[in-house]
Amino acid sequence: MRFFFVVVLALALGVLGVGYLWLNAPLDLSAPTVDLSIEPGASARDVAQAVADAGVAINPLLLHGWFRASGQSRQIRAGSYELDRTTTPRSLLQKLVRGEEALRSVTLVEGWTFRQVRDALQKAEQLKPDSQALSANDIMGQLGQPGVPAEGHFFPDTYTYSKGSSDLAVLKRALRAMDKRLAAAWALRDPQSPLQNPEQALVLASIVEKETGTPSDRATIAAVFCNRLRLGMRLQTDPTVIYGLGAAFDGNLRKKDLLTDTPWNTYTRVGLPPTPIAMPGKAALLAAVQPAPSKALYFVARGDGSSHFSTTLDEHNRAVNKYQRGQ
């Protein structure tokens, strides 16, 4: 009888030992990394089969048994996962239970136009191009804001996403982020601001974003435009003209361009343009609603990224001669 128990104990320990080794041995993958997609509602058995189908040389019945024995089979989360050759059955289950999906990221840069945003999304790794065939207006409709211009309404930031996600999902997050940032900035606006609503703040912020070369100048640049708006002066800002020219702009802004009327030409039209011209960041949003306490009406680039500000046209002309014409 004693011998029988010894044999049974030895066999049990052997099984436990083999099980331990199996749980902690790297999986045999068909490639250095394999992608695993778990659909919502998938059972533990479905997940085990999906692992095998993804390119892992494993018995799905055995893997399913491990999932069940762990007591965590109902905690496995749907998503897109990436397995490498360090993944073991034990770490695989941990990954699936924790929802440690394979994430990618795309960065939307301050000052980009919506066209540049679309280009970046199209080039983003493993992001479904669901918006590719849609117009900008159609995209805004899909995102729940029909009639709202797409330009400038997405917040510049780095967005992570699961492999195989829709680009519309990324755009929706960026849209919500801008709505939130704009509302927060508007709540902090200067009571003396000439801006009448958050949309005007967004438009001005986009101009400030494009005009600012040195961060320390940002609030004063915003002050110049706010002062001009109060006086009914034309804003006369080159980036709006360039935006209005669209594909016709060849990199050189000429006098005839300044005289070519478009809805965005602030040399020919008074007030703010009808839409933003780019994506402003947080700093530009705050500058637009909290401009510096300055009476400046003009500024000119010094050539080092900073600007010289003037309160009179005579002073401005002297600055132009000094910094632009070398006189």
Same structural domain for residues 108 and 199?
no
Write down the pTM of the prediction: 0.81
Domain boundary among 117, 147, 182: 182
Same structural domain for residues 241 and 163?
no
Same structural domain for residues 274 and 317?
yes
Does residue 234 surpass a pLDDT of 50? yes
Mean pLDDT of 47-59: 94
**13/250 Cα distance (integer angstroms):** 77
Same structural domain for residues 92 and 112?
no
Same structural domain for residues 196 and 314?
yes
Mean pLDDT of 98-116: 94
Same structural domain for residues 126 and 228?
no
Domain boundary among 182, 208, 241: 182
Does residue 10 surpass a pLDDT of 50? no
Mean pLDDT of 202-212: 97
Same structural domain for residues 170 and 222?
no
Least confident of 92-96, 154-158, 320-324: 320-324
Domain that holds residue 140: 103-182
Same structural domain for residues 272 and 200?
yes
What confidence category does residue 15 fall into, taking pLDDT thresholds of 50, 70 and 90?
Answer: low
Domain boundary among 51, 75, 98: 98
Same structural domain for residues 76 and 93?
yes
The pLDDT, as a whole number, for residue 4 is: 46
- pLDDT tens string 241-258: 999 999 899 989 999 999
The CATH number covering residue 53 comes to 3.30.1490.480
The pLDDT, as a whole number, for residue 8 is: 42
Does residue 19 surpass a pLDDT of 80? no
Average pLDDT value over all residues in the chain: 92
Angle at 216 between CA 318 and CA 283, to 5 degrees: 130
Q: How many domains does the chain have?
A: 3
- Give a three-class secondary structure readout of the chain: CHHHHHHHHHHHHHHHHHHHHHHHCCCCECCCEEEEEECCCCCHHHHHHHHHHCCECCCHHHHHHHHHHHCCHHHCCCEEEEEECCCCHHHHHHHHHHCCCCEEEEECCCCCCHHHHHHHHHHCCCEECCCCCCCHHHHHHHCCCCCCCCCCCCCCCEEEEECCEEHHHHHHHHHHHHHHHHHHHHHCCCCCCCCCCHHHHHHHHHHHHHHCCCHHHHHHHHHHHHHHHHHCCCCCCHHHHHHHHHHHCCCCCCHHHHHCCCCCCCCCCCCCCCCCCCCCCHHHHHHHHCCCCCCCCEEEECCCCCEEEECCHHHHHHHHHHHCCCC
Same structural domain for residues 57 and 20?
yes
What confidence category does residue 5 fall into, taking pLDDT thresholds of 50, 70 and 90?
Answer: very low
Same structural domain for residues 221 and 312?
yes
Report which listed range, 158-162, 191-195, 322-326, is most confident.
Answer: 191-195
The pLDDT, as a whole number, for residue 142 is: 96
**302/164 Cα distance (integer angstroms):** 47
Q: Which two tokens stand for residue 59?
A: 């018995």
Same structural domain for residues 48 and 161?
no
